[in-house]
Amino acid sequence: MEKKIKEKLKSLVAEMLEAIGEDSTRQGLAKTPDRVAKSWDYFISGYNLSPEDVINDALFEEECDEIVVIKNIDFFSLCEHHLLPFKGITHVGYLPDKKIIGLSKIPRIVDIYARRLQVQERMTNQIAGALQKVLKPKGVAVIVEAEHLCMQMRGVEKKASFMVTSAVRGVFKENQKTREEFLAIVSKGKE
């Protein structure tokens, strides 16, 4: 994060503390603006990254006609409506077309889109779109299950509710059997 932006954030946080009637210079709060700015630097670090950046050359030629699934990729994001966290897990599946991707890269692609202001539906679509673009597989499927602190902490208080979103591309969209196979792998071990 640029120094100028960080300084601006710090002064805004101090202003916010004053606005709610706090003394932003008291011991417990004196370093809070700095801590918040540093945290935000991390929370929004996805804006500066593209999938191409993290993939580098981790694409490998491979004849493979089975679905590849990576389950339970955890993530933390910020809801753009309330600036409160939502967090959960992502399941990603793809059917390769002569190319596979290094396994560790998929969680990093998830983080590119999680570490920015988001709505869950868009994040789900962006992850699917990014994989479709860089990997050019026969299809991609993404499921995101998340709990939103804006629902849990505020008046609605639906503490146990999860939001589930999905995005499918290619064969996962066109072929019900492929989609069902993916869903079966994802739900295995859950019962």
Of 6-14, 110-118, 149-157, 178-186, the segment contacting Zn ion by CB under 5 A is 149-157
Q: Does 188 bind Zn ion (CB under 5 A)?
A: no
Binding residues among 51-80 for Zn ion as defined by CB under 5 A: 79
In the three-class reduction of DSSP (H, G, I as helix; E, B as strand; rest coil), residue 98 is classed as: coil
Where are the extended beta strands (E) located within the chain? 59-61, 68-79, 84-95, 99-101, 117-118, 139-148, 163-170
Of 14-22, 81-89, 105-113, 168-176, the segment contacting Zn ion by CB under 5 A is 81-89
Instruction: Give me the catalytic one of 15, 18, 62, 80.
Output: 80
Q: Does 154 bind Zn ion (CB under 5 A)?
A: no
Q: Kindly state the smallest distance separating residue 148's Cβ from Zn ion, in Å.
A: 6
Q: Measured between alpha carbons, how far is 114 from 53 in angstroms, rounded to an integer?
A: 16
Would you say 81 or 188 has its CB closer to Zn ion? 81
Q: Does 81 bind Zn ion (CB under 5 A)?
A: yes
Q: Does 82 bind Zn ion (CB under 5 A)?
A: yes
Any residues with CB less than 8 A from the CB of 66 and at least 6 apart, and which? 95
Write down how long the chain is. 191
Instruction: Give me the catalytic one of 91, 126, 148, 181.
Output: 148
Selection from 31, 27, 123 nearest residue 75 by Cα: 123
Contact residues for Zn ion, defined by CB under 5 A:
79, 81-82, 150
